[in-house]
Structure 1
Amino acid sequence: MDKIKTYAVFVCGIFGVMWGRLGALAWLILALLIFNVADWITGSAASAVEGKGISSDAGRRGIVKKVGYWIEIGVCLVVDMLLVYALPELSIGATVVTFTHPIVAPMVAVWLDLNEILSVIENLGRMGAPVPEWLSKFITVLKNKVDVAGEKISEDEDLK
């Protein structure tokens, strides 16, 4: 029992430090974890309802894809760290942008959260749950707005 308590304290300590360092991004990452699990569960349930059964191959591919999401977030955190510490000021057109907080990882986390929400909504529809058509459109519009914001940053001539 003491080993379990020791592990629990260790895990809570690690999460506490990470939560404190990530700030507002921690909420986006927690949401991504919740939506990853919800997508996996609802996708499996939708396949079962459609009579396709639960395929271990499809499940494995889905989990690998979600691991890729987490690697992507990690890479974006490194990019943000480089921006904040190595390149704190960047000229974008006539504007000088000062990087004091992460910007890439939160944008990617929001985009991935919206992607997972769309997938959960689609899975619920496949299961027969009544899902308003406008809801998927609304989430897609939000996701596209994040895309447009990222494109505006990456299209700037001074970054090329």
Structure 2
Amino acid sequence: MVIFNYFNNRDIPFGEHWILFLLYLLLNIIDTLTGFAKARINNQESSSVALIGIIRKMGYWIMILIAFLIPVGFQELGKIISVDLSVTIFLGWFVLASLIINECRSILENLVDAGCKVPQILIKGLETASKNIESIGEENE
């Protein structure tokens, strides 16, 4: 617990919500591993498909970076024109939330394809969460 108290300091690079970025990273790793397992069980192993998946995950991290950098730029512009644009930070959080949900859904799909019995409540719950996040994003457009 001491380590968590240390990282709750706001002066760390990812801020006080660093755990969400760590969660997403762990989900990336779990999704990759369950994808490998699914491919092996179904005799569909392919290094090129695995490479594409890893490159795609790197693209998602770039998307997160951009989603958090854009608000920083808007906030700076807001200071110049005397308009509070701090609400734009929600862009990054919506993107991160959407990607976390998608990783969870992908892990469950991998497990189902590998022959595991996944409770429908997990699948339906993640579908509902995904729809809610998407609807919030559409309302703000």
Q: TM-score, normalised by structure 1?
A: 0.73
Larger Rg: 1
| Distance in 1 separating the partners of 2:84 and 2:131 | 23
Aligned residues: 132
In the alignment, structure 1 residue 37 sits paired with structure 2 residue 24: no
Provide the aligned C-alpha RMSD in A: 2.6
Identify which of 18, 23, 45 aligns with 2:15. Answer: 23
Q: Trace 1:1-150 onto structure 2 (pairs within 5 A).
A: 20-52=12-44, 54-87=45-78, 99=86, 102-150=89-137
Q: How many angstroms does 1:27 deviate by?
A: 2.0
1:11 paired residue number: none
Q: TM-score, normalised by structure 2?
A: 0.82
2:42 and 2:114 in contact (8 A); partners too: yes
List gaps (5 residues or longer) in structure 2: 1-6
Matched position secondary structure for 1:129: coil
| Distance in 2 separating the partners of 1:18 and 1:113 | 23
Q: How many angstroms does 1:116 deviate by?
A: 0.4
List gaps (5 residues or longer) in structure 1: 1-14, 89-95, 155-160
More strand by share: 1
1:80 and 1:102 in contact (8 A); partners too: yes
Identity %: 27
- Runs ≥4 in structure 1, deviation > 4 angstroms? 15-19
**Structure 2 CA distance for partners of 1:49 and 1:19, relative to 1, 3 Å:** farther
